[in-house]
Amino acid sequence: MYRPRSMVSPSRFFNPFMVALIVIITVGLLAMTAGLLIHFLAFDKRAYFYHSNFHILNVDYTEALNSPATHEYRTLSERIESMITDAFRESNLRSEFIRTHVVKLRKEGSGVVADVVMKFRSSKRNNKKAIKTRIQSVLQRLSSSGNLEIAPSNGITSLTDQDTENVLTQECGARPDLITLSEERIIGGTQAETGDWPWQVSLQLNNVHHCGGTLISNLWVLTAAHCFRSYSNPQQWTATFGVSTISPRLRVRVRAILAHAEYNSITRDNDIAVVQLDRPVTFTRNIHRVCLPAATQNIMPDSVAYVTGWGSLTYGGNTVTNLQQGEVRIVSSEVCNEPAGYGGSVLPGMLCAGVRSGAVDACQGDSGGPLVQEDTRRLWFVVGIVSWGYQCGLPNKPGVYTRVTAYRNWIRQQTGI
């Protein structure tokens, strides 16, 4: 008897196209779910900044609290920041609190008032007024710690991101991580990014980069005297700001050049000058001043410093157009003056910095530029001015810088700063 061939029921197997469609839909749904989860866990949050001031009840104001460079200013600021941080870390705002920073210590009567900025991160959906009330409640519980008595103000002020930037760039020595009150500190690579070193200046002779400089106020630039040995006419010079010497963010004419009267081109002693700009610079995120150190500030051997400039990358090479940065370490004058080094040529007004291998160093075109260090509060201070050295990047031949602390009084006499 004829029996028809058995047929496979189409219901027993999935069509390959159907399988692919189901897989695609499943993957899409998983990706969408993950995306929404990431959004709500991370991107749903944003930073909020607040300003308040705190009266320090048991500290009298002294001249030592007039500058962030002094030990007294730094110590008191750190104690205040620590008290505020501890208060929030022990509160129900511990997960929202990021960081606080004393922007300024000022005199009120005979006492001290600290202007403080605080950063929090919370969901965009949270009620801003409720968060502000909770912050105020924590601050009101501050009283005393470690013999320091603090009375917070009755109110706090919400700041926009731009407000915070404006507040922090009016003070000295703030790099991007401090301007945003970030927890991260990153300095990597050799090429600087926009805003990394906002005090860096290119001093240009007839519109061509000739020397570096450091912005120390809205009107004054610190640099080296040897830059002007052959060209002392201010009308030939301009100052530019930004990481590029070809397309700077700002260009300002020079009004006056004040080189140290006792600069010695043979010994290179007193290699320091200040340049007065033709008009004041408006401070922004990418252009503002560095801090000047106290005359008594101790520059410790083997401590980390950074040198920046547009100098050549090899001895005898051409200058570069994009700002370079290099991490170096302070070398003691005793080591620097050893026979294998400079054999006694490094004088008391000088400072050595480099790396043992010689791989990182200032070079031609970096002259007059800054050597800077960061303090414990993330403020940056100019401690050296690129002055001289034997060639560039050789072992046992570190860069030699003008020691800024040795000329702190001279700078004040010339500029009033």
| C-beta of residue 206 within 8 angstroms of C-beta of residue 236 | yes
In order of 34, 200, 324, 363, the CA distances from 229 in angstroms are 65, 22, 25, 18
Which residue from 328, 404, 340 is spatially nearest to 368, judged by alpha carbons?
Answer: 404
Tokens (6 digits) for 384: 């050296």
* Interatomic CA distance for residues 416 and 287, integer angstroms: 21
* Other beta carbons within 10 Å of 72: 16
260 given a catalytic annotation = no
| C-beta of residue 113 within 8 angstroms of C-beta of residue 102 | no
Q: What is the DSSP letter of 193?
A: P
Decide: helix, strand or coil at residue 40: helix
Name the active-site residue from 77, 217, 333, 367: 367
Q: State the number of CA atoms in the 13 A half-sphere of 97 facing the CB.
A: 23
* Other beta carbons within 10 Å of 26: 10
226 given a catalytic annotation = yes
What DSSP string describes 45-62?
EEEEEEEEEEEEEEEE--
| C-beta of residue 332 within 8 angstroms of C-beta of residue 348 | no
First-last CA distance in the chain = 115
| C-beta of residue 212 within 8 angstroms of C-beta of residue 386 | yes
Burial status of residue 55 (CB atoms within 10 A of its CB: 0-12, 13-18, 19 or more)? middle
Name the active-site residue from 271, 288, 361, 366: 271
271 given a catalytic annotation = yes
Q: 145: which strand partners? A: 148
Rg (CA), the chain: 29
Name the active-site residue from 101, 226, 260, 288: 226
- Residues whose CB falls within 8 Å of the CB of residue 20, separated by 6 or more in sequence, listed in order: none
* Interatomic CA distance for residues 151 and 85, integer angstroms: 15
Q: 319: which strand partners? A: none
State the Cα angle at 377 between 189 and 183, rounded to 5°: 60
* Interatomic CA distance for residues 371 and 384, integer angstroms: 5
* Interatomic CA distance for residues 96 and 85, integer angstroms: 12
Give the residue numbers marked as catalytic: 226, 271, 367
